[in-house]
Amino acid sequence: MIHATLKELSAALARKEISSVELTTLFLERIERLNPRLNAFITVDRQRSLAMARAADARIAAGQATVLTGIPLAHKDIFCAEGWLTTCGSKILSNFVSPYDAHVIEQFNAAGAVILGKTNMDEFAMGSSNETSYYGPVRNPWDTDTVPGGSSGGSAAAVAARLAPAATGTDTGGSIRQPAALTGISGIKPTYGVVSRYGMIAFASSLDQGGPMAKTAEDCALLLNTMAGFDARDSTSLERPREDYTRDLERPLTGLRIGLPREFFAEGLADDVRRAVEEAIAEYRRLGARTVEVSLPNLNLSVPVYYVIAPAEASSNLSRFDGVRYGYRVPEYADLLDMYCKTRAQGFGAEVKRRILIGTYVLSHGYYDAYYLQAQKIRRLIAQDYAEAFRHCDVIMGPTSPTVAFPLGAKTDDPVQMYLNDIYTIGAPLAGLPALSVPCGFGAGGLPVGLHMIGNYFSEARLFNVAHRFQRATDWHTRAPANI
């Protein structure tokens, strides 16, 4: 059962081959056994999860089940869930129990899914390796001496190690897709505005987007069917008709035009990753697709643009964490200002402080025009590059990450090298485009390689089709770490 897809689990529940309580217990026992080694979960509440499973079993017995009823899911600890500790991987929220549900959690609860627990993450989603968490680093189940990617590394590790059938994540600059690639699972960042950000603790509001992480593209499509939808409480939520993201899964790929940006295969891409990605593209040619060369001339500017815009928005969003209304507060202080300063100094980690300082600097008088405004102008140019590329192709493909998973601690002292891990993933959120990563092979050390697919706005169903047909022809998505 631990290797079954969501579709298979749903069918087994419907046929009464297993109950939700039994399925949830199976995964809870795996979490209890393996999480001390992987550190993928921050919070697990066995009694609460089993109560949800019993309610799901009653719903199934009454003939009121949906596809996800009774299926246990893990949630990134950035989503507020009523009655659950919600920390965002930070000391400053280490005692915050959410009084309400995020829209995404509401949607899954309404579908009858079970909450397995809350997964570890880079603090406030700021990181590419899941090493900035107050609760310690997550370890990659393929090699526990390496990183799982970030910031949704806990969710990725949980799915890869079969501690959960699927999980939620969030993606600001690649935080779903990069850990999906490094742990050998599938994950998608939808078009900006498709998934409500209500109750999803904000990092960079114009970039953040929730999305699913699972073993297969089909599983991700099933999850997005539930996650997506208009929410009036989120001013950036798009009011548009609901979609069935599974509708095109079996569509043939004959005539599909795959755009290969020359910048994705230039200097900086590791040879082992290049080989796996090129073989995946060759498989697409065998499936009837054709490739065309395209260009994203401003790709090299996406990292500096992102690391101006995202910290600027973070400096504003994180100003609410001051020890006054909720979260951590220092026990001793002289006055209100002293309490602010000491709480934030002790409550935030080094990477969060770094980004707050950068963001405050680029927004300050005398620097706003030179940095923030200029970054927004270049952001528009980057979006225009993608628009031009999509005149010649249906989907853009390349590597998700320039390397396979790297050792824990290898880049913690060099933030610039860490930031460069996002070179291929940052462009899509800057432009608001949907993007998906699926496993496509293995590189050095037997570590997974991810194939990155970027689609035009609202083309999620087409991306799932392109990924699903690849997964029908290959078995990379079925591989699991041997030591778990």
Q: Which residues are catalytic?
A: 76, 151, 175
Integer Cα distance of 108 and 116 in angstroms? 12
Count of CB atoms within 10 A of residue 475's CB?
9
DSSP state for residue 178 in the 8-state scheme: H
Q: Tokens 């095109």 — which residue?
A: 248
Enter the tokens of residue 362.
């680029």
Enter the tokens of residue 49.
């999860």
Are 135 and 39 spatial neighbours (Cβ–Cβ below 8 Å)? yes
Q: At what angle do helices 20-38 and 6-14 cross, to 10 degrees?
A: 150
Enter the tokens of residue 268.
């900086």
List Cβ neighbours of 30 (8 Å cut-off, separation of 6 or more).
Answer: 2, 161, 162, 163
Are 185 and 213 spatial neighbours (Cβ–Cβ below 8 Å)? yes
Label residues 24-43 b or e (16+ Cβ within 10 Å = b): bbebbebbeebbeebbbbbb
Helix (H) or strand (E) holding 260: strand 257-261
Integer Cα distance of 463 and 443 in angstroms? 24
Omega within 30 of 0 (cis) for the link into 155: no
Enter the tokens of residue 195.
């998934």
Give phi and psi for 76, each to the nearest 5. -55, 140
Q: How would you write 188-216 as a 3-class SS string?
A: EECCCCCCCCCCECCCCCCCCEEEEEECC
